[in-house]
A and B are shown apart, each in its own frame.
Chain A
C-alpha cells in the first residue's frame, strides 16, 4: 500500500451548493501535490476534508489505507497525523511561540512540558528560528509567524502536512523564507498537499499539480507537463489568465 492519502469520490455540499464533486486523488508517500485553481473552486474545502476539519457528504478518504472515520483513529489521532497550516497563520496571540507549539503535544497528547519544549526548540533550531522561542506573535513579521505556524503543525510528528495558501497573506519579500521551509520539508521526505497561487513554486516543488474548477479536479499531471502543455481547455484558460497577470 503505497498511498499515504487516498481520496475516493468525495462530494461535499454547503447547504444546496455543490462544493466538491466526486473528487478522487491519491497522494503517495513523500509525494508533494499542489492544488491550483481560481478562488472558490473548492481547494480549501478539499484540504480540510482530508483531516476532517470539515465533514463531507459522500465518498471516503483513507490514511495509509484506513478510512479516516475509522474508530481506531480515536478522537485526535487524525489531527496528530495530519498537520494543517492556514493562510492567516492563526497563531494564538496570547501565547508565546513555545506555548503555541507545545499546546497540542501537552494538552492533547499528554507529553510532559519539558519533553514538549525540548522538541519544540529542536524544531525551531532546525528552521533557524531559535531566537524567537519566547516572542509573542505580534512581535514577529508575517513570514516569521507563518514559519512558527508550520512548526506548530509539525510538533506532533504528522505524516502528512496540508498547506493552504501559506504565502498569500505575506508581503512579497517575506514569501521566500516560508517557501524555503517548505522546500526543506520536501527534502526531508514530508508528504504534502499544498494549495498555492505561487505557480513558480508549484512548478518547482510539486511532484504533481491538480487543477480544480467548480469542485472537480479538471486535470492533473507532472508540473513540467501541466504548465507547458495543459490538455484541458479550462486549464489552458486558467493558466493563460495567470500568465497575463504576470504570475507565471
Chain B
C-alpha cells in the first residue's frame, strides 16, 4: 500500500520533519589574534628577506659607490629635477591630446571597417590598408619621418614644429592599434544584438550607436587602458626629434655632467604616472570578470 496524505505514518513523518530543527551550521573557526598576525608577519618577513638579500648583494659589490654616484646621486637629481619636470609636463600634454585624437580617429577607422554593404567598400579597404601600414611600421621611424621630414618640406600653411608632427605620428600609429581593439570589441558583440536592433527598426548606424558600440567599448576597456599606458611611455620617442620632453631634458643634464641620476629622476616620474593606471586596469578587469560570473549565475 502506498502511503498517501491521509495515512497516519505520512502525517507523522511530516510533523517530525517540521518540528525537528536541522543540524546547526558548522561552527565558525575562531581566528585568534595569533592566527591573524602570523601570516601577515610571515609575508612581511619574507618580503624583507627577499629584497634585503638583493639590496645587500648589490650594495656590497665593490662597484656600488661608483654606481650610486653615477645613477642615484640625490644632489644630481635635485639639480636636474626642475628641467626634467618641465619636460615631463610636455609628455603629459602630448599624451592627453594624442589620447583624445586616437580615441576618435581609431573609432572612425573601426566603424569604417565594420560597415556592411557594397557602397562602403572603399572605406573598408582604406581602413584595412591603413591599419596594415601603420601597425607594420616602427613608431620611431614614423616619428623621424614626420618630425624631421615634413617640417623640412616647408609646406605653406602647415605647422613646421617637430612637436606638432611628432604628435601626429604618434596619433597615426596608435590609432591603428586602437582601431583593432575597437573592432575586436565590436565583433565580439553577439549577433543576436544586431538582429534585435534590426527587428526594432534601428538602422545599421543606430544599431551601432545605441546597442553595439556601448557594449563593445565596455568589453575592451582594459585593453584600451593598456594602450594608454604604452602611449604614455612612447611619447618619449619625440625626444629623438629634439622635443624637450622629460627624457630629452634628462639627457641634456647627463651630457653636461656625465651623471645619469637625471634619467633615474625621469624614470621615477614615468613610474608615478603609469603604475596607478596599471592598477586601475587590473581593477576594471577584475570587476568585469566578477560581473560576468554573476551574470552567468
Distance in Å: Cβ of A44 to nearest Cβ of chain B: 11
* A53 contacts the other chain (CB 8 A): yes
Distance in Å: Cβ of B243 to nearest Cβ of chain A: 40
- If A93-B215, A108-B206, A138-B294 touch, whether A51 touches B200 (CB-CB below 8 Å) is no
Residue from B199, B202, B215 within 8 A of A53 (CB atoms)? B199
Question: Contacts of A156 on B, CB cut-off 8 Å?
Answer: 200-201
A103 to B198, CA, bound (A): 12
Question: Contacts of A153 on B, CB cut-off 8 Å?
Answer: 199
Q: What string of 1s and 0s marks CB contacts (under 8 Å) between B17-57 and chain A?
A: 00000000000000000000000000000000000000000
* B269 contacts the other chain (CB 8 A): no
Residue from A86, A90, A109 within 8 A of B201 (CB atoms)? A109
Q: Compute the total of residue contacts between A and B using a CB distance below 8 Å.
A: 57
Question: Contacts of B93 on A, CB cut-off 8 Å?
Answer: none
* A5 contacts the other chain (CB 8 A): no
From 55 to 111 in chain B, residues with beta carbon under 8 angstroms from any chain A beta carbon are none
Distance in Å: Cβ of A46 to nearest Cβ of chain B: 15
Contact call B202/A107, Cβ cutoff below 8 A: yes
Distance in Å: Cβ of A51 to nearest Cβ of chain B: 7
Distance in Å: Cβ of A163 to nearest Cβ of chain B: 12
Question: Contacts of A104 on B, CB cut-off 8 Å?
Answer: 200-202
Distance in Å: Cβ of B158 to nearest Cβ of chain A: 41
Contact call B203/A75, Cβ cutoff below 8 A: yes
A107 to B196, CA, bound (A): 14
Distance in Å: Cβ of A158 to nearest Cβ of chain B: 11
Contact call B291/A90, Cβ cutoff below 8 A: no
Contact call A86/B295, Cβ cutoff below 8 A: no
Question: Contacts of A109 on B, CB cut-off 8 Å?
Answer: 201
Distance in Å: Cβ of A194 to nearest Cβ of chain B: 16
Q: What string of 1s and 0s marks CB contacts (under 8 Å) between A65-92 and chain B?
A: 0000000000110011001101010111
Contact residue range for chain A?
A: 20 to 34
A80 to B202, CA, bound (A): 10
A206 to B191, CA, bound (A): 30
Contact call B199/A76, Cβ cutoff below 8 A: no
A90 to B218, CA, bound (A): 18
- If A103-B210, A138-B291 touch, whether A92 touches B201 (CB-CB below 8 Å) is no
Interface size on B, residues (CB 8 A): 21
Question: Contacts of A84 on B, CB cut-off 8 Å?
Answer: 199
Question: Contacts of B197 on A, CB cut-off 8 Å?
Answer: 92
Question: Contacts of B136 on A, CB cut-off 8 Å?
Answer: none
Question: Contacts of A103 on B, CB cut-off 8 Å?
Answer: 200, 202, 210-211
Contact call A108/B192, Cβ cutoff below 8 A: no
* A94 contacts the other chain (CB 8 A): yes
A153 to B295, CA, bound (A): 23
- Residue on B with the closest CB to A94? B214
From 41 to 69 in chain A, residues with beta carbon under 8 angstroms from any chain B beta carbon are 51, 53
Residue from A80, A83, A86 within 8 A of B195 (CB atoms)? A86
Distance in Å: Cβ of A100 to nearest Cβ of chain B: 9
* B193 contacts the other chain (CB 8 A): yes
Contact call A152/B200, Cβ cutoff below 8 A: yes
- Residue on A with the closest CB to B198? A53
- If A107-B210, A138-B291, A138-B295 touch, whether A90 touches B202 (CB-CB below 8 Å) is no
- Residue on A with the closest CB to B209? A107
Contact call B215/A94, Cβ cutoff below 8 A: yes
Contact call A76/B192, Cβ cutoff below 8 A: no
- Residue on A with the closest CB to B193? A90
Residue from A51, A94, A107 within 8 A of B199 (CB atoms)? A51
Contact call B203/A92, Cβ cutoff below 8 A: no
Contact call B199/A92, Cβ cutoff below 8 A: no
Contact call A94/B192, Cβ cutoff below 8 A: no
The CB with the most chain B CB atoms within 10 A, among A75, A94, A153, is that of A94
Contact call A53/B195, Cβ cutoff below 8 A: yes
- Residue on A with the closest CB to B203? A75
- Residue on B with the closest CB to A77? B201
Question: Contacts of B193 on A, CB cut-off 8 Å?
Answer: 90, 92
A104 to B196, CA, bound (A): 11
Question: Contacts of A86 on B, CB cut-off 8 Å?
Answer: 192, 195-196
A172 to B209, CA, bound (A): 36
Question: Contacts of A90 on B, CB cut-off 8 Å?
Answer: 190, 192-193, 195-196
A109 to B202, CA, bound (A): 10
Question: Contacts of B211 on A, CB cut-off 8 Å?
Answer: 92, 103
A136 to B48, CA, bound (A): 47
- Residue on A with the closest CB to B199? A84
- 12 sample A-B contacts, Cβ–Cβ < 8 Å, listed by A number: A51-B199, A53-B198, A86-B195, A90-B196, A91-B196, A94-B214, A94-B215, A103-B200, A103-B210, A107-B206, A107-B210, A156-B200
